[in-house]
């Protein structure tokens, strides 16, 4: 179907692109890079299939966006994750599961050298994936595109931050997540989904501020690290946010404070488990509490309305279940991210 004959009010065509749109990459302002990767996931699985679930669910999203009615006209196109990398990923899942079982039973601690070759396999594969992803980000950015990542687990955006460091771009990050993700490593995996922001803060001085929202599950190591780096990290623990609300403070006031921490350029990183788990029941590590959908939308819109430049985004940890619910919610979060970014 050509753009000239495209009807945004009609049902999505069977062979259409994401959100049922007729655009190709050249015609699209927004490029979504899917990253089907979850090698270090240690609890619930399935996030590697998140991008496809979101794409399928996106066909049911009506195109008149409430906040950005003409968003669809910008063009949104979804890149492809290489089949050879997906095969590599799938072949290494049993390897990572072997390590995780050993960590849980104590076998890893008693005989760590035995598992060194397994860790090396996973690290080599991760670096191979990162090299591909950095090349794709650079390619699309060089063509003036708005680029977003679609995971996969929450380890994947590290490569985006590497790219921004290479560009010497100063910026802040807003992350919505149930977890701090500030572990130095988790179960021995340096590139763990539980270590994404530890890696970002310790490696990239151009990240001037990390604002974490929805946090409600974390360990002592992470709490200590956040306190140590409090000049660069502002944490909004879900329980404290709710306590303030019960005592009369509004979400609008809280969001205004969150946004006030941010420099002019902002990257947005969303782990879907930052939402109430009724909205994402199949995500890998659901936690009671969290943001309601419209609370998230309000926060995203206020970042945009504050005049901040959105320089990139990711949406991670969407895991399809037996129905389309998680993909449905994920598709709408993605549409909002596209709206505030373009």
pLDDT digits (tens, 9 = 90+) for 105-120: 889 888 888 889 999 9
Distance CA(148)–CA(242), nearest Å, equals: 30
Residue 278 has what pLDDT? 97
User: Spelled out in words, what is the top-level CATH class assigned to the domain 20-341?
Assistant: alpha beta
CB 113, CB 58: distance < 8 Å: no
Helix spans in the chain (H): 50-58, 83-105, 107-110, 116-142, 158-166, 196-203, 220-228, 238-246, 251-260, 293-305, 325-341
148 forms bridges with which residues in the sheet?
32, 313
CB 317, CB 271: distance < 8 Å: yes
210 forms bridges with which residues in the sheet?
173, 233
Which residue do the tokens 């999505």 mark?
12
Distance CA(332)–CA(293), nearest Å, equals: 10
CB 29, CB 146: distance < 8 Å: yes
Is residue 44 scored above 80 in pLDDT? no
Number of neighbouring beta carbons within 10 Å of residue 61: 17
Predicted confidence (pLDDT) per residue in 273-283, tens digit? 999 999 999 99
Residue 124 has what pLDDT? 95
Residue 109 has what pLDDT? 83
233 forms bridges with which residues in the sheet?
210
Residue 332 has what pLDDT? 98
Distance CA(341)–CA(168), nearest Å, equals: 20
CB 29, CB 342: distance < 8 Å: yes
Q: Please give the backbone phi and psi of residue 329, each rounded to the nearest 5 degrees, phi first.
A: -65, -45
* Residue 312 in tokens: 């990139």
Residue 1 has what pLDDT? 52
Q: Between vectors from CA 262 to CA 256 and to CA 266, what angle results, nearest 5°?
A: 115
First-to-last alpha carbon distance for the chain, in angstroms, is 24
Percent of the chain with pLDDT over 90: 87
Mean pLDDT of 309-320: 97
Distance CA(141)–CA(280), nearest Å, equals: 31
Predicted confidence (pLDDT) per residue in 48-105, tens digit? 999 999 999 999 999 999 999 999 999 999 999 999 999 999 999 999 999 988 988 8
Nearest in space to 59 (alpha carbons), one of 338, 327, 342, 337: 327
Residue 311 has what pLDDT? 98
186 against 229, higher pLDDT = 229
């Amino acid at each position: 179907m050509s753009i000239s004959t495209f009807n945004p009010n009609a049902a999505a065509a069977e062979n259409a692109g994401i959100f049922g749109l007729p655009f190709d990459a050249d015609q699209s302002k927004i490029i979504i890079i899917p990253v089907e990767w979850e090698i270090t996931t240690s609890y619930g699985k399935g996030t590697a299939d998140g991008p496809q679930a979101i794409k399928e669910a996106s066909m049911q999203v009506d195109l008149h966006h409430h906040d950005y009615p003409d968003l669809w006209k910008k063009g949104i196109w979804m890149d492809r994750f290489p089949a050879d990398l997906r095969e590599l990923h799938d072949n290494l899942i049993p390897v990572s599961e072997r390590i995780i079982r050993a960590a849980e039973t104590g076998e890893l601690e008693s005989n760590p050298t035995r598992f060194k070759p397994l860790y090396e396999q996973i690290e080599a594969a991760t670096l191979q994936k990162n090299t591909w992803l950095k090349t794709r980000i650079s390619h699309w950015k060089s063509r003036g595109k708005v680029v977003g990542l679609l995971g996969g687990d929450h380890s994947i955006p590290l490569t985006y931050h590497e790219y921004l460091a290479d560009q010497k771009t100063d910026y802040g990050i807003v992350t919505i997540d149930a977890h701090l993700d500030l572990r130095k490593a988790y179960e021995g995996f340096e590139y763990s989904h539980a270590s994404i922001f530890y890696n970002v803060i310790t490696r990239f001085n151009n990240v001037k501020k990390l604002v974490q929202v929805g946090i409600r599950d974390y360990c002592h190591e992470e709490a200590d690290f956040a306190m140590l780096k409090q000049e660069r990290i502002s944490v909004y623990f879900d329980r404290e946010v709710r306590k303030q609300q019960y005592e009369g403070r509004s979400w609008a006031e809280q969001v205004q404070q969150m946004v006030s921490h941010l420099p002019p350029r902002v990257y947005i990183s969303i782990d879907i488990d930052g939402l109430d788990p009724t909205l994402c029941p199949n995500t890998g590590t659901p936690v009671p509490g969290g943001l309601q959908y419209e609370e998230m939308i309000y926060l995203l819109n206020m970042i945009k309305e504050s005049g901040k430049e959105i320089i990139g985004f990711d949406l991670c940890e969407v895991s399809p279940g037996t129905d389309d619910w998680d993909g449905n919610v994920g598709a709408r979060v993605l549409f909002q991210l596209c709206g505030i970014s373009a």
